[in-house]
Structure 1
Amino acid sequence: MRRSRCLLPALGLLLLAACQKDPAEPAAPTPTATPSAQKMAADATLRWSNAVVWSGDLNSCRQGEAAATRECLIKAMQAGGASADAVTAAGQLSSAGELAFVSAWHEHDGIGVATVAYPFRANTNEGTRLVDAAGKRIDVDAVQLDDTVRADPGVQALLAAHPQATPFAPAQAGGSTPLDNGGIRLLYRTPLRDCHACADVGQIQIGYDFDGTRHFIGQQVVPVATP
């Protein structure tokens, strides 16, 4: 999944922004496709729901330096009674050495909200994906200060005071606001810190916008309201 990012600051108050990942649309299987190819296509188009949730024992994958592998995770989930959809979702999330599975699911006014567990991370063991009506998944935890964000005058001022500041996931839900024509905006905030154990020096907030049919239509930087 690839990310696009945006952000807005509030000097002396809070700093705001966020990122998104858009999954690529998979090709549909052809009538002559092999069973394995058909399964791969079906896996790629899996629509997340409560059916992808799993909670179980991963102790078998914590023994030995090479135990925490994708194969071990999948086998442990299958042995732990995970549904085929839960295993598929874990496979979609687990790539480039990053192992994860969906540990919880709920809906917020028609938008799916999946809690993603990263069981083998040293820090930040949870994340969030928003899932729209078409099944598109948006990662609210992949925040980064890119060149566009750094060009903002407010961001420049904050980074002048805290040049080492960087976003630290996970993002926390900040509520929602209605949009025109029945749409909704979900808000998520991520702290900025100089180091992992340092105090927050600001916040990043983004509003994820969905239309009246709950299809994702974009994201907007939204200042954090102050008392």
Structure 2
Amino acid sequence: MDQQTLAMAHEASNIDFSLLALFARASIPVKLVMILLIVSSFWSWSIIIRKYITFRAARNEAGEFDRAFWSGEPLDELFDMIGPAPEGASQRIFAAGMLEWRRSHRHDGGLIAGAQARIDRSMDVAITKESEKLTSGLTFLATVGSTGPFVGLFGTVWGIKVAFEEIAISQNSSLAVVAPGISEALMATGIGLLAAIPAVIFYNKLSSDSDRIMASYEAFADEFSTILSRQLDSE
């Protein structure tokens, strides 16, 4: 090995390739890309954790209310117990139906025409509101999952452009000149993938969980509507 090669190898070995060093040496556009992706990743994880807690609480609440609903207790007493503005999602759907049910009775005890349709619409509106709460934040996960790699790739392309400019200016294509710039550029793509992969995985998982929870709400609303329909027909 000649002296020049040894000198180049020695020079390359002295370069710090730690993540912090690569970030510090990156150009301003690449740094901004990395910061954007890191912030997006942290925000994605905050949404994932929050949604996991929310979905778990929703499933527990739905199970508890389902047991209370089918316990045989009169529905009027159950409604009086939880009130018109309960905390649980299943309870709010039930309360929406019961409120409209009571409003559909005249003072003489008779029913206002179209009660069944109004009850169904009231519960549908309540279900839509719960759906919006469950799915809030999932759009951000989908956005990070679909755009993260491309944002990182933009940082990589820009970093490689800067690296080649430095090679042209220094008129030296040695490993010590090329390696740092290429490493900094590739780091942006790595961070993009690090942000996008969990976002895609958990978006699919949370979307599926949300669909199952919403299906249980809709099934309960249908069952409750059937019960009220029998009551309306008997009156």
**Which TM-score tier does this pair reach, normalised by the shorter chain?**
under 0.3
The structure that is helix-richer by fraction is 2
Larger RCO of the pair (alpha carbons < 8 Å, separation 6+): 2
Highest Rg: 1 or 2? 2
